[in-house]
Amino acid sequence: MKKNEPAGPFREPTRQSPVAILLILLRLVRSLLRMAWPVLLVLVLNPKKQSFDALSWWIIGIASLSALGSIIAYFRFFFYLRNDELILEKGVLRRSKLNVPLDRIQTIELRQGLLHQWFEVVSVEIDTAGSKNQEMTISALSKPQAEALRDLLLEKRTGRNDGQEAPFPAEAEPHRREE
């Protein structure tokens, strides 16, 4: 942190809401089901009906590994502001660190899918100049925390500290999308 930079919110590594564990787990399960649906279909429709015990153990094992992976992913995900950059650190097996200069941030969207609404959290999606997809996504933050992050990033991006309105006003309500 620069010496002239005041201490403030998001200066220390910050985690997502604990709800992120569930959202990560559901994303992992959905991905596994997309990849394994043919195998599951064969097992269910198999006329010989192989031992359900073996299938049960496989399902329990995969579910346990998925849950453990989700918890580890939650504890290995941090974001913070440092030296006019938003930094995101994540990864379980392969760690990655993404530094985004605040002046390159173009849009900050707060999205709230059905599960997000149920758990009263929002997803923060940040786009930068020159990228086609979201540069970074924070899956689950409380709405006040997400709004504080958005307001701080917009303030830092425009270099305004005088309370004047930024050229790109922040959205009042998060986008809602069905999952």
Q: How is domain 79-177 classified at the architecture level of CATH?
A: Roll (2.30)
pLDDT in tens, 14-44: 999 999 999 888 888 888 888 877 777 776 7
E strands present in 9-154: 78-82, 85-90, 96-101, 105-113, 121-128, 136-142
pLDDT over 80 at 45, yes or no: no
Phi-psi region of 83 (alpha: psi -120 to 50; beta: other; left: phi over 0): left
pLDDT in tens, 118-134: 999 999 999 987 766 66
This prediction's pTM: 0.69
Q: Where are the domains of the chain?
A: 19-74, 79-177
The pLDDT assigned to 159 comes to 66
